[in-house]
Structure 1
Amino acid sequence: MKILHWELEDPLNLTAFAFGFLLIGTSLFIRGIRVSTHFIAFPPSEDIIRASSWRTMGISVPLLSDEVYTAFMLTAVLLASLVLRNDRDTRFALSLYSLPVERKRLVLSKVLAVFIMLFTASFLPFILTVTYIFGDTGDFLLTALLSKGLLPLYLLYWALAVLYAVAVSSLVALSSPNTFVSVMAGLSVLYLPHSFRISSLPPAVLNSAIFHAYTSGVSPSGWFMELLSSAFLSCVFLPFFLIALALYLAERRDVR
């Protein structure tokens, strides 16, 4: 736990977190404003909004669009490179890994720190953006988020996206010879599948799954399982495999 606290309190890591928070938040806000302009041209009554209800909200909120994903993956790579690779470049890892703690436990604490910071830097701006867009619709926002189950769905969506990005960028960071290579390689590995529109990897698989859940006849209680089942291989199985591989690599590789 001490390693986790150290990483979460490190000024350099907090600077990267703040940078990511602002970058992701700005991208989400701009994307949300663009989407909400459809409602500004012909403002519907509250009755019409309630008629389409949470499905309209689900389709309208900004998620991992091109702009948002670019900010998201940049933040993930920066955080992973600083937390998992930079201490080796500065030789601080020589002291850190000499502690009477298993190396895989230290690395796992660092991966968890990256996950916490990236999830906070992405999910909190998302909630703030959604609140800004739908905050003037009375109790519709709270009803959709709490009673209709959108909040757990959004939590799962961002948790899966963060888990994938953290797993990939962590393995790349531990495999790289220095922090610069870690950043460049991490950006390439995360962005190339997106640029080639590979539908089986995030963000495409997540966006497709959540849109299909909204537009299908499945009840709101089934949206959660719909998203999880669609993205299980790429956002659950693959990330855990990559994290296990990263732990194995950390055990076998010299800290320098």
Structure 2
Amino acid sequence: MKILCWELEDPLNLAVFAFGFLLIGTSLFLRGIRVSNHFMVSPPSEDFIRAFSWRAMGISVPLLSDEVYTAFMLTAVLLASLVLRNDRDTRFALSLYSLPVGRKRLVLSKVLAVFIMLFVASFVPFLLTVLYIFGDTGNFFLTAFLSKGLLPLYLLYWTLAVLYVVAVSSLVAMGSPNTFVSVMVGLSVLYLPHSFGVSSLPPAVLNSAIFHAYTSGVSPSGWSMELLSSAFLPCVLLPLFLIALTLYLAERRDVR
């Protein structure tokens, strides 16, 4: 627990957290305000609007677009490199690893610290952006988030996204010879699948899964299970496997 608190209170880590919060928040906000206005000669009926309003709201909410994902993965790689690799470069790890704490527990605390900082730096700006866009709808906004299941859906979406990038970044950081290599390789590993349009990895698989949930025949309360079932392999099993590899590598590698 002390290791986790140290990492969360480290000034350099907090500086990267603030940088990521601002960058991700700006990307989400700019994405969110790009709303097109459409005019219809024969607008739909009120019953039709009510029936599809929750899905329409979900589809219009900004998620991991190209701009947002770039800021998102950059923050993840910088945090993981600083938390897991920088202390080895500065030789602070010689003192840290001498503490009466197992290496796996220590490294797991560091991974958890990266997860917490990245989740807050992405989910809080997301909520603020959604509140800015839909805050004037009053009861509709509250009903959608609290009663119709959108809040659990978005919590799950960002948890899966954060878990994936933290797992990849942590493994790269632990296996890299220095912080610079960790940043460069981490950015490449996370961005190249996205740039080549690999649909089986985030963010494509998450965006496709959440859209599938919106358009499925299940009620809004079941959208979270639809999302989880569609993205379970790349966003749950794969990250857990990568974190296990990170812990194994931490046991095998020299502190230096």
TM-score by length of 1: 0.96
Q: Contact between 1:198 and 1:204, CA under 8 Å: does it hold in 2? A: yes
1:217 shift after superposition: 1.0
Mapped to 2, the partners of 1:33 and 1:52 lie a distance apart of 21
Provide the residue aligned with 1:118 in structure 2.
Answer: 118
Q: Partners in 1 of 2:246 and 2:131 — Cα distance?
A: 37
Q: Which residue in 2 is equivalent to 1:3?
A: 3
Q: How does 1:1-256 map to 2 (within 5 A)?
A: 1-34=1-34, 36-38=35-37, 50-256=50-256
Inter-partner Cα distance in structure 1 for 2:182 and 2:15: 18
Query: How far apart are the structure 1 equivalents of 2:57 and 2:133?
Result: 10
Amino acid at match of 1:190: L
Aligned residues: 253
**Equivalents in 2 of 1:38, 1:95: separation in Å?**
59
Cα distance between partner residues in 2 of 1:11 and 1:56 = 41
For residues 229 and 5 of structure 1, the distance between their equivalents in structure 2, rounded to whole angstroms, comes to 34
Q: Distance in 1 between matches of 2:61 and 2:220?
A: 16
Q: Is this contact kept in 2: 1:163–1:236, CA < 8 A? A: yes
Q: Give the Cα–Cα distance (whole angstroms) in 1 for the partners of residues 112 and 80 of structure 2.
A: 10
Unaligned runs of 5+ residues in structure 1 are none
Matched to 1:172, the amino acid is V
Give the distance between the partners of 2:120 and 2:202, measured in 1 at CA.
19
How far apart are 1:52 and its partner, in Å?
2.9
SS at match of 1:21: helix
Deviations 1:30-71 (A, max 9, x none): 00001x2336x78x99x5864532111100000000000000
Q: Which runs of 5+ in 2 are unaligned?
A: none
**CA offset at residue 106 of structure 1?**
0.2
**Cα root mean square deviation, aligned:** 1.6
How far did 1:18 drift?
0.2
Q: Deviations over 1:145-170 (max 9, x none)?
A: 01000000000000000000000000
Task: Determine the C-alpha separation between the residues in 2 that align with 1:20 and 1:138.
Answer: 30
Percent identity (aligned) = 86
Structure 1: how far apart are the matches of 2:32 and 2:213?
A: 20
TM-score normalised by structure 2 residue count: 0.96
Between 153-162 and 211-220, the greater mean CA deviation after superposition: 211-220
CA separation of 1:49/1:21 partners in 2, compared to 1, >3 Å: closer, same or farther? farther
* Aligned partner of residue 136 in structure 1, secondary structure: helix
Write the distance in 2 (CA, Å) between the matches of 1:51 and 1:152.
Answer: 20
> Tell me, what secondary structure is at the counterpart of 2:136?
coil
CA distance in 2, matches of 1:190, 1:68: 13
Between the aligned partners of 1:201 and 1:241, the Cα distance in structure 2 is: 15
The whole-number CA distance in structure 1 between the counterparts of 2:233 and 2:141 is 32
Change (3 A) 1:54 1:249: same
CA contact (8 A) 1:50 1:140 kept: no
Residue 72 of structure 1 and its aligned partner are, at CA, apart by 0.2
- Aligned equivalents of 1:228 and 1:93: distance in 2? 37
